[in-house]
Structure 1
Amino acid sequence: MEGLMDHNLRDILTRVGGIDHCVTEFVRITHQVYPSRVFRRYCPELDNPGELRGKTAAGTPVHVQLLGSDPQLMAENAAKVAELGAPAIDLNFGCPAKTVNSSQGGAVLLQYPDLLNRIATAVRAAVPAHIPVSAKMRLGFKDKTLAITNAEALAAGGIQWLTVHARTKTEGYKPPAYWDQIARIKEQLSIPVLANGEIWTPQQARQCMTESGSDLLMIGRGLVAVPDLGLRIKADHGHLQHDNLSWQQHLQLMYGLVPHLAHLPDKAQTDRLKQWLHYFSMQSIEVRAVFERIKRQRETAAFFKALEQAIVDVAAQPPEEGAFAAYQHKGF
């Protein structure tokens, strides 16, 4: 999740728990083998000492994700990041962004199964055998006709598991996600297949597992919106006991970002905080009400003063459920 899921947010979310491994923002590979400092900027966890090398402070492994179209360059950069201590390498064939696709990266490559295979094969050959190589793809670029062909091409390249986002590039992030299409892919592969897309609640996770036939999930936006979603899903399946975090506790987590934003101008700080608040508001009627009250604040001190007052006011007079239903209907 470019521009959002950096190491600071990974640290906060993995401290909450319920996450088995996480993946960096993609490193775009274009025309060179990057120096070590580039990979360390995307994944500072590579510099953690001892047993925490390549892991968050909570001990969660961080897989480094690469995006590009040149098999040899992808392989050489993968070898470099493996030397730095990455627990695993992930290949991005799912990003739908126009700027990425126009430079021959991400989901646009789903039109070329042979190229997918050559990239996966080259990376797998360049990375030591004990370090897993995985890939993420969508169901296709314009349509789903090559979904199984692409999945088989990647599996034949030697990856250890495949994550499938259950929509095409042209479908973007618009609901629904076609989880049943993942089942068709899973039937053809002998490697694990992780299901991804439109998982915001334990109920949706359960439905996704049923329709996809996979008990392995990859969650992006849903986990940003509900930081304890991983714990809620595991509790729903009887794997642990968990008392759901309240909306106030979710907002308290946001304060963990503040020290890491101090070097930024006020507007940049509040923009980043409002970005996370927006995700919170997708799944909480109370946070949505808070967000509406503070979203125009640009100066940091005024932002937090308004935030604290809004939390008190909303707790004292909760909004009505109907307003949240209308908000969801808008497509947020």
Structure 2
Amino acid sequence: MRLLLAPMEGLLDFVLRDVLTSLGGADRCVSEFIRITGSLLPDKVYLRTMPELRNGSCTAAGTPVRAQLLGSDAASMAANAAQLAALSPEGIDLNFGCPAKVVNRHGGGAALLQDPSAIHAVVAAVRGAVPAAMPVSAKMRLGFNDRALMLDCALAMQEAGACELVVHGRTKLDGYRPPAYWDQIARIREAVSIPVVANGEIWTVDDALRCQAESGCQDLMLGRGIVADPGLAWRIRKAVAERDGLPMPAGMRDVQWPDLLPALLRFWQLVCADLEPRQRAGRLKQWLNLMRRAFPEAEAAYQHVRVMTDQAAISLWLEELQQQCLAASPATLPSQQ
């Protein structure tokens, strides 16, 4: 079983990739999409979205990161893929799933699921433009307005040279509304011979196990679920090991709220170093808001910080929060280097 971190524009960026992979449990990340609209992008654009390219295409914890491109013009996608390949990413992923109207209006993301031949052209062009040893994968939804071309699109990606498919179990029309149709991912898995990774609406261990059963996929991609519960990957690994009678995974951790306080402080430090001042508090609130689903302590923290805007005050509060928890239960916190 492999567990991947999803690319999520405006949420799961390099800051959260750094923090979440430091807690362990994930096998690979995918960057947010780098949009290709016709021009050849300079290296600084790739590096801004995916600074891990300066670190051997890995997070600080050593987790590989694959770069994702989004676009509809095959020639431009190929030229940019070749440019990106020179920076030695772990691989290149192609986005055929983004449901954003501004992206779809220009023929990108999920809009391409209406035209399997266009998908084939993009994948084939990128595959031919990068070194043969470099993985080229793709991420798709079940369709645009319906699932009529679902299998045609998946087969087009495979035939054009994609080595792996991640399938989000909803159409563009479905958006992010529950449920995700994991049973439809099974139809794609049965139709292609390359690995298929299931994605969509995996919030809990029970969700993960049901997704595996319904999709037939052992490999999963985690998005908002692992942002809400940063220990979710380890919890899934433990449950799968217990289900299958396997040894517990090496490095297994039970990530609880006290373990997250150093991660929250690290997150805040990275946010303050990277983002404009007006954006910083919002990013912290965004993460705490999601973690309220999994941790009662996150609810109290969110309510405390919800009206705060001063960077110095937030920094002091986070440091005090960590010290209070350390004083109360020092054995629960990981050692700090």
Same fold (TM over 0.5): yes
Task: Give the CA deviation at 1:300.
Answer: 2.4
**Which one of the candidate residues 246, 254, 257 is aligned to 2:264?**
254
TM-superposed deviation, 1:305: 5.8
**How far did residue 221 of structure 1 move?**
1.2
Task: Give the length in aligned residue pairs.
Answer: 310
Instruction: Determine helix, strand or coil for the equivalent of 2:142.
Output: strand
Alpha-carbon distance, 1:261 to partner:
2.9
List per-residue Cα deviations over 1:218-257 (Å, max 9, x = no partner). 1111111111211111111124273422223224311112
Mapped to 1, the partners of 2:277 and 2:89 lie a distance apart of 34
1:240 to 214, 238, 249: 249
Can you list the C-alpha shifts for 1:184-223, whole angstroms capped at 9, x where unaligned? 1111000000000011111111110000001011111111
Using the TM superposition, name which of 143-152 and 190-199 deviates more: 143-152
2:258 and 2:264 map into 1 onto residues whose CA distance is 10
Q: Tell me if 1:207 matches 2:210.
A: yes
Match of 1:190 in 2: 193
Of 164, 169, 180 in structure 2, the residue corresponding to residue 177 of structure 1 is 180
Structure-1 residue corresponding to 2:279:
268
Q: 3-state SS of the aligned residue for 1:194?
A: strand
**How well do the aligned residues superpose, as a CA RMSD in angstroms?**
2.1
> 3-state SS of the aligned residue for 1:130?
coil
Instruction: Render the CA deviation track for 1:71-90: whole Å, top value 9, x for unaligned.
Output: 01111111111111111000
Question: Which structure exhibits the higher relative contact order, with contacts defined as CA atoms closer than 8 Å and separated by 6 or more residues?
Answer: 2
Give 1:5 shift.
2.2
For structure 2, the residue ranges without an aligned partner over 5 or more in a row are 1-7, 242-247, 326-337
Pair 20,265 (structure 1): closer, same or farther in 2 beyond 3 Å: closer
Taking structure 2 as the reference length, the TM-score comes to 0.86
2:170 maps to 167
Q: Which moved more, 1:257-266 or 1:294-303?
A: 257-266
- Match in the other structure for 1:15: 22
% same residue: 48
Match of 1:292 in 2: 303
Is the Cα contact below 8 Å between 1:281 and 1:287 reproduced in 2?
yes
Deviation at residue 310 of structure 1 after TM alignment: 8.3
Q: Residues 280-309 of structure 1, C-alpha deviation per residue, up to 9 Å, x if partnerless? A: 113233312431333122222344566678
TM-score by length of 1: 0.87
Q: Is the 8 A contact 2:231 2:256 kept in 1?
A: no
Shift of 1:109: 1.2
Residues 243/257 of structure 1: CA separation in 2 closer, same or farther (3 Å cut): closer
Contact 1:267 1:299 in 2 (8 A): no
SS at match of 1:237: helix
* Runs of 4+ with deviation above 3 angstroms: 263-267, 301-314
